[in-house]
Amino acid sequence: MKVLVIGSGGREHALVWKINQSRKVKKIYAAPGNGGTHSMAEPIGIKADDIKALLDFAKKEKIDLTVVGPEAPLVAGIVDLFEKAGLRIFGPGKECALLEGSKVFAKELMKEWNVPTADFEVFTSKEKAEAYVNSKNRPLVVKADGLAAGKGVYICKTKADALQAIDDIMGRKIFGDSGKRIIIEECLEGEEASIIVISDGDNISPMASSQDHKRIFDGDKGPNTGGMGAYSPAPAAEGSVFKNTLDHVIYPMINGMKKRGTSYKGVLYAGIMITKKGPYVLEFNVRFGDPETQAILPRMKSDIVDLMEASIDGRIKDVPNEWEERSCVCIVVSSGGYPGKYEKGKHIKGLKNAEMLKDVVVFHAGTAISDGNVVTSGGRVLGVTALGKDIKGAIKRSYEAAEKIDFDGIYYRKDIGKKAFKDNGCTPCGCAVC
């Protein structure tokens, strides 16, 4: 088979790495890929959002399966375009991708289908939104409706914060048309987790649970980022939380979408808050998480290409869904200054030494090759990932690997995975991890 993987982040490197293990796959292309995908996938110089050029390439090269990493091409309708041309592509169609493309769409369907989510109001008028905020005396969350590169959510502790958020989104229009409508919702408390499944429209194959670390600094402090690290499994999201999320979130959404006449195929990612009342949905994504995928795929025993093909063909139940007992941790290594301004082009040293460690894989994100060297080319640079007997073992091994890597301005959090021990008396217990 010839497979085309669209995107250029750590998630896409992890997908290429896993797809490359499939016995069915003879050739992989990456559009455009990064400094780490080169060894397994031929880079093609087409950007992830140039869906017409991607279609022409897939037709010309007779691609057997296209796998879409990021949300933008899905929301733009790449799946419908490819399917119309008779090409096989893994992911949801345009109408289903609106679950990520429009938070208002997702919230309204959740309300209709009784899927637990924060109480909310939708506003198209800045004045009405301001009046609403002025009438409330509690923390609120203000969200731009459309895609905003992960930056469209404001957690507002005070009225002033909420008014500022409304002004950013509707007054200064910093997210353009994505901010034409906003949601103002109740602020939930609890622990966050990511529950990701592959759907074939009727049935699902759940991926292992995972947890992201969204803030830049240790202890979940500082501004939000694309994600500074992840681990799998996430103990807080196992057992009844996992089952409740499937029963009360995932299945109602999959069944509801089918009844609307738009069967949901591909990845459905529920970002949940585990509240005292159970899991509540914070957001849906219509693609694999980044960096969650880097921590999940090393634990997947099944052939991912089998799962993707079964999603397209409506036979996900027939494909084994097997997972390593071992745990996995991914530390995101970033450029100094990220998520604000940062410099690029820094020579990355020590990659080979890190990769030589047992059970370690270094996924590239913002890297490029320059004069034969691997250099930084983005904010999130690498996902240093390790398997371990348990989460503690995986944390230890992944930090051992991260310490072998160096570049000018290197930054990473020192507490990835620690959250997993929060509730069992381990922090601080004096062990190697705490």
Residues that bind ligand AMP (CB under 6 A): 118, 141, 143, 153, 155, 185, 187-188, 192, 214, 271, 282-283
Cα Dmax for the chain: 61
Residue whose C-beta lies closest to ligand GLY: 289
Measured over the CA atoms of residue 88, residue 94, residue 99 and residue 100, the dihedral's sign is: positive
Q: Does 192 bind ligand GLY (CB under 6 A)?
A: no
Q: Which is nearer to ligand GLY, 90 or 407 (CB)?
A: 90
User: Containing H/E element for 265?
Assistant: strand 265-275
Q: How many residues bind ligand GLY (CB under 6 A)?
A: 6
**Contact region for ligand GLY (CB under 6 A) — 172-180, 196-204, 284-292, 350-358?**
284-292
- Buried-exposed string 69-88: b where 16+ CB fall within 10 A, e elsewhere: bbbbbbbbbbbbbbeeeebb
Rg (the chain; Cα; Å) = 21
Residue 290's contacts (CB-CB under 8 Å, 6 or more residues apart) are 9, 10, 11, 69, 226, 227, 365
**Contact region for ligand GLY (CB under 6 A) — 15-23, 283-291, 340-348, 397-405?**
283-291
DSSP structural state of residue 64? S
CB of 434 to ligand AMP, least distance (A): 24
**Using CB under 6 A as the criterion, what x/- string covers residues 217-236 for binding ligand GLY?**
----------x---------
Q: Does 12 bind ligand GLY (CB under 6 A)?
A: no
CB of 7 to ligand GLY, least distance (A): 12
Q: Does 91 bind ligand GLY (CB under 6 A)?
A: no
Q: Of 290, 303, 306, 415, which one interacts with ligand GLY (CB under 6 A)?
A: 290
What is the DSSP pairing of strand 367-370 with strand 265-275? unpaired
**Contact region for ligand GLY (CB under 6 A) — 102-110, 130-138, 285-293, 422-430?**
285-293
DSSP structural state of residue 349? B
- Given ligand AMP, ligand GLY, none, residue 282, with its beta carbon under 5 to 8 Å by kind, binds ligand AMP
Is-contact 93 101, C-beta < 8 A?
no
Beta bridge partners of 213: none
Return residues touching ligand GLY (CB under 6 A). Answer: 212, 227, 285, 289-290, 292
